[in-house]
Amino acid sequence: MRHFDVETLTPGRWRNGGGATREIASRPAGGEEFGWRASVADIDREGPFSVFPGVDRTFTLLAGDGVRLTCPGEFERLPARVGEPFAFSGDLSISAELPGGACRALNIMARRGSWTARVERVAGRVVPPAGHAGVFYVLRGRWRTGEDGGRALEPGQGVWWDEDDNAPGEGVAPLSPDAVALWADVTAPGRLTGRV
């Protein structure tokens, strides 16, 4: 498992100037087209999302007073609340409104036909299935990787792993009663998903 802290990730400004992206992982590394990608976006102002043809996206608000996502003919003004994953096609032209100001969100993207991603809010131990990639992001409380000598994780921190990594069998476990996190389980078609 590879550790990350959002505050130490280098932000890259959007072309439209409406925000910045901090990349957690993009696989395959160095490829012209990602198979799957995880990043945190700081959304500074209202405007359109980038279109990613052939990509499935999951958007989860991490901080802020909410984002209204609108796609004419598909959905209108759907509110996104902290910790609630919202999946949609990257082919869609979506606009974001910020009724309460700037926000931060976790974006998980998977190239359709090559990868699938399922994002869920969790409060108990997560054990990555063998052969799966994934991202674990702490929303609240304290967590620990492994059992003995593992790494403690605070809000805004997390871990990610490739499908061919030998992730610890103990997974990631909560250390405090208020612990809440997001787990993105990323897999190639045909592989089973699950959680212990």
| pLDDT tens sequence for the chain (196 residues) | 899 999 999 998 876 667 889 999 999 876 668 999 999 999 988 988 888 999 999 999 999 988 889 998 888 777 778 899 999 999 999 998 998 899 999 999 999 999 999 999 999 999 988 889 999 999 999 999 985 568 899 999 999 999 887 665 678 999 999 999 999 999 987 654 444 4
Are 34 and 114 within 8 A, CB to CB?
Answer: no
The reported pTM is 0.90
73-104 burial, b at 16+ Cβ within 10 Å, e below that, comes to eeeeeeebebeebbebbbebebebebeeeebb
Phi/psi at 111 (5° precision): -70, 120
Query: Contact 106/122 with Cβ under 8 angstroms?
Result: no
